[in-house]
Structure formats: structure tokens, C-alpha cells
Amino acid sequence: PLQEENKVPYASQTPCVMHACGHDAHTAILLGAAKILAEIRDELPGTVRFIFQPAEECGLRSGAKVMLDEGALDGVDSIGGLHVWSLAPTGTALYRSGPVMAAADAWYLTIKGKGGHGSAPENSIDPTITAANLVLNLQAIVGREVSARETAVVSTGVVKAGETVFNIIPDSVTMNGTVRTFNKEVQDTIEAAIRRVIAGLCAAGRCEFELDYRRNLPATVNNHEVTMTAKAVCEYVLGADKVKETELIMGSEDFSYFEQKVPGTFFFLGTGNPEKETNNPHHHPRFDLDEDALPAGSAMLAGFAWAQLTGEVRG
């Protein structure tokens, strides 16, 4: 949940709920693309399917997965997806062939000890010591068990112990974290290491534990040929000097499920404009959009669909 801090007429009026990633813009952009293609409907040598996908950031409850199960890509030959990107300037686009966004795993851990008074720790089994050791030791996995030629992240996002009493050793600690990888071999290595480290440190600290490890989203891997088509369209719309290859992005996206079904590409439309304060990161309480970027996004998606159907690049 995020409490929006933007002082604009369209700011969220619901506490702790806001558009903080640009999915509302994606709807507007795709509607614009549909309008463009509807105007040349008679020239289209095929069918274009517009997918307005919900629940992109719901992990195992992925909207893309549900839509696939319901046949959204049945009969589809290729797919293109666009995401606004506040970290790139308005008037630019980013692309990448091959892996572009990471797989996302999540882990949920409860460490169980024995509570007691802080003045007599010898009578307790302190789970906070084990938790502290885990936070540090988990960080050694990438550096010591994954090749330096690979890209991976292990992060601990939540550590909760005790209530408000300063002199009580809690009987349990909960920890949650994420793992980001780009290939299954590294993903397997890291999961096995996390399980081993947790089991070993909990045993050393005389604690029991419960671990729920989830592989939420696969990596997003772009098809080269389809990506090069999208790149050419973006260059046509924006100019070649405004289209750049992006670095690997450690964030994740359930568009990856679509690309497991059909060849596709996922690319990015810059919406960052410091003068309009639209260059805050995604998932930030002051995230906002430069609406001047949206028409180019519509032209890019419409042009991509045209190019996939005809082999011609046109905005």
C-alpha cells in the first residue's frame, strides 16, 4: 500500500491506494493504439488482439497466467508489450533482446525459539540471533555460490521480532525476502543454498523453522526477431537517437508468461521529465506520468502490430 503524495486533481482519493506504476497509462496507450488501427482496419492483413491485463503484480495470482488459462493467446502468432518507464526521459524508448527482466522468487520464514526475560537469556532460545546471522549469511550466497558472470540478487525485505516490550526475548521471528535471477540453473542454486543456510543456522541456534519458498514469476525473455521489429518501429516514431538498449532490469513482470506461449517482446516508453516531476521511481508515493509521452506509446504499439502483420515499419 502507498499513500499518494501528489497534489494533482487526479490524485487517488482512497487512503493507501494509488496508481504508482503506470498501469493506468498502459490502458490509455493501448486504447490509443486500438483507435489508430481501427482507422486503417480495412488495410490490416490479419487480426490484432488487444489485451488489457489485470493483476500484473500479484505473484502466484498473476493476471497473465489467468488470461492464458482462459485462452487469451489462442491463435496468436506473436505479442508485444509496453511499459512506461519514469527512469528514462520522455521521448525515448528502451529495448533489449533476450533476457530483459528477472525471475522473482519469494521466501517466507518463521524462526521458532523460546521466549524469555532479557535479563536471563540463558533460559531462552533467542531467535533474533539466528535471524541476524541469516540476514548476513544469505548475502554471501550470490558472492560465493553464483558465478560472477551471472546476475542475481538475494534481498531480505522483512524482519519482525517481538512486540513493544524492551526486555523480553521473543519466541519467534518472521522474515521475508526476494530472489531475482535470469536462468533456471542459478535459480536452483540459490534456492538450494537458502534452504541449506536456513537449516544450518537454525540448527546451530537450537531453533526450529518453517519456510515457504515460492517461485512467483519466470524471467521475461524477449524474442530477438520480434524485438528488432519493435526497435525499428520505436526508431521510426521517436528517431534512432532516442531508442537505446536497456541494461538487465532486476524487476519482474508477468508478461513473461505470455512470452513462454508465443514469441514476443517487452519494451519501455520513457516518461521521466524533471520539470514535471515525473522522474520519481515506480512504486514511489510521488510517482506521476508525463502525459506528453502517451501518444508516442500508442503509435509504437500500433506500428508494432502493423509491422508484425505486414513486414513494413510505419508509425
* DSSP string computed for 196-252: HHHHHHHHHTT-EEEEEEEEEEPPEEE-HHHHHHHHHHHHHHH-GGGEEEPPPB-S-
Query: Which among 103, 314, 289 has a CA at the least distance from the CA of 189?
Result: 103
pLDDT at residue 245 in the model: 99
Tens of pLDDT, residue by residue over 230-285, are 999 999 999 999 999 999 999 999 999 999 999 999 999 999 999 999 999 999 99
**Inter-residue contact 264 to 80 (CB < 8 Å):** yes
% the chain with pLDDT above 70: 99
The C-alpha cell that represents 95 in the structure block: 529495448
Q: Are 130 and 173 spatial neighbours (Cβ–Cβ below 8 Å)?
A: yes
Q: How do the domains of the chain map onto residue ranges?
A: 23-101+219-310, 103-217
Strand, helix or coil for residue 14: coil
**CATH architecture assigned to 103-217:** 2-Layer Sandwich (3.30)
Please determine, for residue 57, whether its predicted confidence score (pLDDT) is greater than 90. no
Average pLDDT, integer, range 225-233: 99
Contacting residues for 224 by C-beta, under 8 A, at least 6 apart: 97, 98
The mean pLDDT of 89-116, rounded to a whole number, is 98
Tell whether the model's pLDDT for residue 23 goes beyond 70. yes
Q: Please tell me the total number of residues recorded for the chain in this structure.
A: 315
Whole-number pLDDT of residue 55: 84
- The mean pLDDT of the chain is 97
Which are the contacts of 265, defined by CB distance < 8 A and separation ≥ 6?
79, 80, 81, 95, 97, 222, 223, 226, 227, 229, 230, 259
* For range 176-196, the mean pLDDT: 98
Question: What's the confidence (pLDDT) of residue 1?
Answer: 83
Alpha-carbon gap, residue 259 to 224, rounded angstroms: 12
Poorest-pLDDT segment among 119-123, 164-168, 178-182, 301-305: 164-168
278 DSSP assignment: -
Give ∠ CA 53-232-252 in degrees, rounded to 5.
35
What pLDDT, on the 0 to 100 scale, is given for residue 61?
77
pLDDT band at 315 (very low <50, low <70, confident <90, very high): low
In 3D, which of 311, 299, 308 has the Cα closest to residue 39?
299
Q: Distances from the Cα of 184 to the Cαs of 132, 138, 256, in angstroms? A: 29, 19, 14
HEC assignment per residue over 207-218 = CEEEEEEEEEEC
d(CA 81, CA 263): 11
pLDDT at res. 164 = 84
Contact between 305 and 120 under an 8 Å Cβ cutoff? The reply is: no
Pick the CATH number of 23-101+219-310 from 1.20.1740.10, 3.40.630.10, 3.30.460.10, 1.20.1250.20: 3.40.630.10
